[in-house]
Structure 1
Amino acid sequence: MTEFSEAERAYLKSQRLGRLATVSPQGQPQANPVGFFPQDDGTILVGGYEMGRSKKWRNLQQNPKVALVVDDIVSLRPWTVRGIDIRGEAELLIGPHELGPHFSEEVIRIHPRRIHSWGLDSPDGS
């Protein structure tokens, strides 16, 4: 498993929303906004209200390849962005977890295989 740098870990902990991309059995990409939770072991958990009934869950049952993009705009003038693109394999978990009572028991655990980040070298994104 690929490991996050200190700057990447700090950035992920500072953000709450990302976009999760999966692939349908027909090969069609799908991207959805998701809440995510970085874990101390280097994986990322993604939870939802009815995760087990979602298209992303069904897609991952057929193909575990996944991408998670987390980014934000630091400044409009000058245009400054930062973010991280995480590619990896999804593990589908069912059962109790610590994400919160409003989440369903189905959770996606992302095991990073490739990490690409930009603009994280300084707090202002430069």
Structure 2
Amino acid sequence: MDDTRLMDPAVLAYLESQRLGRLATVDRDGAPQNSPVGFWINHDLGTIEIGGWNLTKSRKFRNLAHNDRVAFVVDDIASVTPWRVRMVEIRGRGEQVIDVPVPRSGMDAALIRVHPARVIAYGIGD
């Protein structure tokens, strides 16, 4: 699957079964930076929401002020025998969102919203 439909049922089911992803951003000098992140899906907007403790002070959040291009990956190993991996990569635009209701205890009142431009999935729904 390679399209912009985040709301594909197989992709949604997989993402909702996972808790940890990795968000890649680009710093002011053009260098990539990758961070493990917790996430959830905003079904109304068709976006990935990323929150966290002290998020507004994080490098990933600050990077978005200079370059909003992001890649978000969730993957796992479904089985070892036979070897079977699953992966969703979402490329798009990251948005700094501030002054939001705190989604979970201990998180900032801010989040990173990933707007998909391209969704690549492998081993999902096979």
Same fold per superposition (TM over 0.5): yes
Which amino acid counterpart does residue 68 of structure 1 have in structure 2?
F
1:96 to partner: Cα distance: 2.7
Q: Give 2:53's match in structure 1, choosing from 49, 72, 86.
A: 49
Structure 1 unaligned residues grouped into runs of 5+: none
1:81-125 superposed Cα distances (whole Å, 9 cap, x missing partner): 001000010111111325212101120011000000010124xxx
1:2 paired to 2:17: no
1:2-35 superposed Cα distances (whole Å, 9 cap, x missing partner): 3221100111111110000000111110101000
SS in 2 for 1:49: coil
Number of residue-to-residue matches in the alignment: 122
Greater mean deviation of Cα atoms: 95-104 or 71-80: 95-104
Aligned to 1:121: 125
If the length of structure 1 is used for normalisation, what is the TM-score?
0.92
Aligned to 1:32: 35
In 1, distance between residues paired with 2:116 and 2:83?
A: 29
Partners of 2:102 and 2:110 within 8 A in 1? no
* Deviant stretches of 4+, over 2 Å: none
If the length of structure 2 is used for normalisation, what is the TM-score?
0.92
1:75 paired to 2:79: yes
In 1, distance between residues paired with 2:37 and 2:57?
A: 15
